[in-house]
Chain A
Amino acid sequence: MNWRNVWLIFRREVLDQLRDRRTLFMVAVLPLLLYPALGIGMMQLTVLFSEQPRTVVILGAADLPPPQLLDGHRFAQAWFETNTESQNKLEVITDLPPENADTENSKALSADAEQPTNTTKKSAASPADLARRQRILNQAKELQVLIEQLKLLNPAAVERGRPATLLSPELEATQVQLRKTMSELFKQSGIQVLIIIPPDFDQSIEAVKQQLASQRSQPGEDSAKDAITPLDPTTPLAPANNFDYPRPLIIRNRADDKSVIAYTRVVEVMESWERQILRDQLKAGGLPEQLPTPIRAHVVELADSQQVANNVWSKLFPAMLIIMAVTGAFYPAIDLAAGEKERGTMETLLICPASRTEIVIGKFFTVMGFSMATAVLNLLSLSFTGKYVSSLAASNLSRNVDLTLPAFSSLVWVAVLLIPIAALFSALCLALATFARSSKEGQYYLTPLLMVTLGLTVFCLSPAVEMQPFYSILPVVGPALLLKERLLGTADSYLLWLYSIPVLITSAGYSLLALWWAIDQFSREEVLFRESERFELKLWLKQLLRDKTPTPSFAEAGVCFVVIMLLQFAALKMFQQPLSQAKPNELGGIMLKLMIVQQVAIIATPALRMGIILTTSVRQTFQFRLPKLRYLAASIILALSVFPLSLELSHRLAWFFPPLPESMKQVGELLSKNEQPLWLLLVAFAIAPAICEELAFRGFILSGLRQGGRHGLAIVISAISFGIIHMVSQQVFNAALLGLIIGLLAVQSRSIYPGMLYHFLHNGMQVGLSQVQTQLTKPGFHQVFITVSEGELVFRPLLLLLCALIAMAALTWLVSQPYPPREESPAPAN
């Protein structure tokens, strides 16, 4: 590696990008302008934005009890507690006689008569307004009639607390029709909320007040009856009846946003009005005002403005950092790789003395530089704009929402964690862009990359997601969560330092892996000189079925994996249903049967089908050939020796992974409880997976992956895909490790059977052990190797050591076996 060449290439690429106006605009100008522009836009919007007043109709307004709810065509100012501006956002139309409701208006009219200068405006609006109000009022009254009908039909629909009446089908149909008519009328009328005050509502309220007052004046008297009778002749009976007066009705439409907004405001008004009436009633009864709120706690706020700000930044910064690192890397990467192909300068560069690795690394550093610059500039611009706008808003609302910038130490962490994130995305983008034939094709790859990144970002932003050992080794998630915790500043600092180690190490690892991929892409002729081929679906399908090869292609293997994943996803719901309906004692049996069905239908069938349709040699694809005996022996030895090691490993690493979901625990219990017959357990846990998963992963997928001739890589990828299919992170890890061993067995023995045998033995032992676990507690010779403590199997170090030695020996032997020369020289199909 000649670093001078890397430097030369880096310098040229940077210069080249800086001379490109588009890149400069994306990287520097856009962030510097975007956020201030957004800030200005927001300020402008708040100034310009004026909400249309919503229409509220009150029928029976004459019966409103005091204190005064209305003030002309508005609710009275006093009832708006938090936001006084809301008063103007509701227009109230009542059925009061106009001279009463429009007192202000009429006053204004009379005033206008004296001052002709003002007349034009107000008197011109008035007749039209009056007509409109009258129209709305008429529609409201129509609605009221309909409501009465509905009440007759089904009181429960209108009044809370009434028992629901079972309606005959005809009446039910009528009710549905009635509701439909009402909703239609409501929509046409332009009313957002309709309030119907029951007749003599004010008297009902007054009666309560009177009663309370009289009870106060005659505390000794037992019978309240006498006191009330003269006051309220309509309800002369028990005091309870006094409170059982008809309540107002509010009609709204929850599916209509305008109605929802108006409703929330009306409810706020009504509630504070109600509180006032309640206070009056309490006063009348001589009771303290605090009576209805016996447990109203006082809140002491500890967070200072710095912490509030930290909370905001801890959500904004990681998200912005990741998204901007991707976008910042993507466009330069496309220009540097696909763009170079497109402009025909790629070959010029390839024939210069710099090696491919040097070229890629030079380009990689360029992309990374732009990625970091974009992220930093965006963050800076965002935070300063955010701070400025929030301080403006704070002075407006006289509330303390000042966004102080994070502490310097946190900002250092932003810079440190930006490096691995930018490196990972730069290498990924460069690899993708190298693969693309043209800039246009490159752009297509942005969307999936952004979607995945956004998914991860949203995951990290969720307040419930905290740093965990397992998350710390995930790409993107690890650095993002660490940054979040750092900015939040609430977590234990020592712990965060500890987490920093795996986060930085694994991030560097992922970045190197991605860089390796990019270099690999850049060194491949078929990628660099990919010709644009016209794609036609029909032609392609024809070609796919016509020019079959003995074994599937790399892409077909990938498709097979995706199909299995999708089927598994689709089947989740299908399998949940019978499980949720099952009786508890049948649950285990059903679960086992479903597991078998899942194995056969979702894993084996797609692989076999694809094998039959897409290849010419099913035998070669799935390696259905008898292996040499020594490979079968090796698989038995390996299975026996690796099993305790794998159990021990997953036991030791249990802390590392997120806890198992409930459904997985159920499966575990299924095994340990001796409810199910052993044969069923064996079929479900050992035989079915051994056959079905092997057919898919060591059969179709591994053959396809191996077509490029990279057997090691094929084993690794097939093992990872085998892991992923197990969904739960802990099992993903275990399965991937086993996948490595079984993959090696399958490749070296050129047969699928040793792998099946291994898989069967491994799973079978799991079933067997959980069956005999209870017997292992008894003392005996086996305790040298294995004991049970606290219901868990414990392997003794001696056993583990022996197993490790045997496994090592077996694996070494397996690897050292000469790889069989490419079988029956895969002659081209044509």
Chain B
Amino acid sequence: MIIRAGPGFSLERSFCREDHWQLMIQLDRLTKKFSDFKTGERLALDHVSFDVKPGEIFGLLGPNGAGKTTCLRILSTVLKPTSGSAIIAGYDVATHPAQVRARIGFMSNNTGIYDRMTAWELVEYYGRLYGIPQAQLTQRLETIFSTLQMNEIREVLGSKMSTGMKQKVSIARAIVHDPPVMIFDEPTSGLDVLVARRVIHAVESLRDQGKCIIFSTHIMREVEKLCDRIAIIYRGRILAQGSIEELRDTHHQRDIEELFFELISACDAEEAEHLRANEDSINPGLDDTSTNVEVRP
């Protein structure tokens, strides 16, 4: 089953508050335009629609510059969509950003931790910002620190931590308020195999707790291992989405990596055709046209 955005979603939206949701995350024709110094306006996201249920890991698969980060930044309310809508736990990111932020745990390469704060202080600081009462917060911190095995770095300053430790703190920071929705933007990039493995396990255990998770990556292996459903995104557009099995069946390609390449080259060919037809047509504004895919053994 490939879910396409349709009018049906807008009906459901009205009763999608807190307790009634079936779909934790709903994107409807989400579009984002950037005006660029060099190339003028460009579409970073072009009518992207998908949705995610609780207890599900949704994989966003695409090369660098495909629009993954932009999409997830809109979901985290850091960027505002140009058009279309994104509803998270019943709240529209454009109109109720504060409510949305309170219900998501967000972690990406760009969410660093403070150098001059200890692990405990940092997680506690964010916990307080989420408005968790102090007594409850201390208890929660104790739990998180012991499950993530972070007790030995409690009093270590951010500047003194290794990448792995920082990643742990980031995860702790993202889950401190026990959000129903988790968003991971390439959480394993730049990590060694051991740390990456630990992160993957953490994501899996979060799924088992019934969280609704979006996981973006450009690594096929992680997708195959982790995701219930995926969307392949390229040049701001979703080329295909569904469970991995569904994608294999629809496109008659067992190897997910090959599938990925096929879709992307088809898209490139189409783009080239389009360019030829229209000489001064829009520049897709991507970093480069080569598909930057990293494959892990």
Chain A contacts to B: CB under 8 angstroms: 4-5, 8-9, 12, 15-16, 19-20, 343-348, 350-355, 525-526, 528-529, 533, 543, 547, 828-830
State whether A16 touches B114 (Cβ < 8 A).
yes
Q: Is B78 interfacial (CB-CB < 8 Å)?
A: yes
- Quick one: given A19-B116, A828-B41, A829-B40, are A351 and B111 in contact (CB under 8 Å)? yes
Partner of B129 from A8, A15, A543, A828 at Cβ < 8 Å: A8
A contact residues around B160 at 8 Å (CB): none
- B282 and A347 contact, CB distance less than 8 A: no
Closest Cβ of chain B: how far from A314's Cβ, in Å? 40
Q: Is the CB of B104 within 8 A of A351?
A: yes
* CA gap between A16 and B101 in the complex, in Å: 24
Complex alpha-carbon distance, A6 and B126, angstroms:
13
Per-position binary interface string of chain B over residues 27-55, scored 1 when its CB falls under 8 Å from any chain A CB and 0 otherwise: 00000000101111100000000000000
Which residues of the partner chain A approach B130 to less than 8 Å between Cβ atoms?
352-353
Please indicate the chain A residues that have their CB under 8 angstroms from the CB of B80 in the complex: 525
* Cα of A217 to Cα of B272 in the assembled complex, Å: 123
Residue-wise, chain B 274-287 has the 8 Å CB interface mask toward A (1 for contact) of 00000010110000
Q: A351-B77, A533-B37 are in contact. Are A345 and B113 (CB under 8 A)?
A: yes
Contacts of A828 in B (CB 8 A): 40-41, 282
Asked whether B106 is an interface residue with its Cβ less than 8 Å from the other chain, the reply is yes
User: Are B113's CB and A348's CB within 8 A?
Assistant: yes
Given contacts A343-B115, A352-B126, 6 further A-B contacts (CB under 8 A): A8-B129, A15-B116, A15-B117, A344-B109, A350-B76, A352-B129
Instruction: Return B117 CB to nearest CB of chain A, in Å.
Output: 7
> B112 near A: Cβ within 8 Å?
yes
Q: Are B108 and A8 in contact (CB under 8 A)?
A: no
Q: How far is the CB of A20 from chain B (nearest CB, A)?
A: 6
A20-B116 contact, Cβ under 8 Å, with A355-B98, A543-B38: yes
A344 and B38 in contact (CB under 8 A), knowing A5-B129, A352-B101?
no
A348–B101 touching, CB < 8 Å:
no
Rounded to whole angstroms, the CA-CA distance of A20 and B37 in the bound complex is 36
Which residues B120-147 have CB closer than 8 A to chain A?
A: 125-126, 128-131
In the assembled complex, which residues on chain B have CB atoms less than 8 Å from the CB atom of A344? Answer: 109-112
| Alpha-carbon separation in the docked complex, A180 to B288 (Å) | 71
Contacts of A353 in B (CB 8 A): 98, 101-102, 129-131
In contact, A830 and B125 (Cβ under 8 angstroms): no
* Docked complex Cα distance between A19 and B118 (Å): 11
A348 to chain B, nearest CB (A): 4
Query: CA separation between A352 and B174, bound complex, in Å?
Result: 10
A9 to B98, CA, bound (A): 16
CA distance A16 to B158 in the complex (A): 12
- Flag if B129 contacts A830 (CB, 8 Å): no
The interface residues of chain B lying within 8 Å CB-to-CB of A350 are 76, 78
B98 to A533, Cβ gap below 8 A? no
Q: Which residues of B contact A351 (CB under 8 A)?
A: 76-78, 101, 104, 106, 111
Closest CB in chain A relative to B255 CB, distance in Å: 35
Check B116 against A526 for contact (C-beta < 8 Å): no
Closest-CB distance, B212 to chain A (whole angstroms)? 16
B residues in contact with A529, CB < 8 Å: 79
- B contact residues around A547 at 8 Å (CB): 40
Distance (Å) between the CB of A747 and the closest chain B CB?
Answer: 22
The residues of A that contact B35 with a CB separation of less than 8 Å are 526
27 A-B pairs with CB atoms under 8 Å apart are A8-B129, A16-B114, A16-B117, A19-B116, A343-B114, A343-B115, A344-B112, A345-B114, A346-B110, A347-B73, A347-B78, A347-B112, A351-B104, A351-B106, A352-B101, A352-B129, A353-B102, A353-B129, A525-B79, A533-B38, A547-B40, A828-B40, A828-B41, A828-B282, A829-B40, A830-B39, A830-B40
**A353 and B78 alpha carbons, distance in the complex (Å):** 11
Q: CA of A341 to CA of B38 in the docked complex: distance in angstroms? A: 22
Number of interface residues of B (CB under 8 A): 38
Number of residue pairs across A and B with beta carbons under 8 Å? 78
Question: Given the complex, which residues of A lie within 8 Å of B73, measured CB to CB?
Answer: 347
Tell which of A9, A12, A16, A347 touches B110, judged by Cβ atoms closer than 8 Å: A347
Asked if B211 lies at the interface with its beta carbon under 8 angstroms from chain A, I say no
9 A-B pairs with the lowest CB-CB distances in the bound complex, closest first: A344-B112, A348-B111, A19-B116, A347-B110, A345-B112, A352-B129, A828-B41, A351-B106, A351-B76
CB distance from A773 to the nearest CB of B (A): 55
Q: Using CB atoms, name the residue of chain A closest to B77.
A: A351
Query: At the interface, yes or no: B68 with Cβ under 8 Å from chain A?
Result: no
- Residue B235 interfacial (CB < 8 Å): no
Give bound CA distance, A736 to B126, whole Å: 47
Is B168 at the interface (CB under 8 A from chain A)? Answer: no
Does B38 lie within 8 Å of A8, measured CB to CB? Answer: no
Any A CB within 8 A of the CB of B237: no
Determine the chain A residues whose CB is within 8 A of the CB of B218 once the complex forms: none
B117 neighbours in A (Cβ, 8 Å): 12, 15-16
B229 at interface, CB cutoff 8 A? no
Residues of B within 8 A of A528 (CB): 78
Q: Give the docked Cα–Cα distance between A360 and B78 (Å).
A: 15
Bound state CA distance, A5 and B128, in angstroms? 8
Set of chain B residues within 8 Å of A5, measured between Cβ atoms? 129
- CB proximity of B120 to chain A, nearest CB, Å: 13
B106 to chain A, nearest CB (A): 5
Pairwise interchain contact A347-B108, C-beta atoms closer than 8 A: yes
Q: Check B98 against A830 for contact (C-beta < 8 Å).
A: no
Q: How far, in angstroms, from A673 to B129 measured CA to CA in the complex?
A: 71
Give the CA-CA distance A4 to B173 in the complex, in Å: 19
* Residue in chain A with minimal CB distance to B117: A16
In contact, A8 and B77 (Cβ under 8 angstroms): no
CB distance from A19 to the nearest CB of B (A): 4
**Cα distance, A829 to B39, chains bound together (Å):** 9
> Are the C-beta atoms of B112 and A348 separated by less than 8 Å?
yes
Q: Enumerate chain A residues within 8 angstroms of B113, measured Cβ to Cβ.
A: 345, 348
Task: Give Cα A679–Cα B125 distance, bound, in whole angstroms.
Answer: 74
- Structural contact, A8 and B110, CB atoms closer than 8 A: no
- The answer for the CA separation of A745 and B125 in the assembled complex, in Å, is 52
Residues of B contacting A526 in the complex (Cβ-Cβ under 8 angstroms): 35
Q: A345-B112, A351-B101 are in contact. Are A830 and B283 (CB under 8 A)?
A: yes
* Shortest distance between the CB of A231 and any CB in chain B (Å): 94
B66 to chain A, nearest CB (A): 17
Q: CB < 8 Å: which of A15, A346, A525, A830 contacts B282?
A: A830
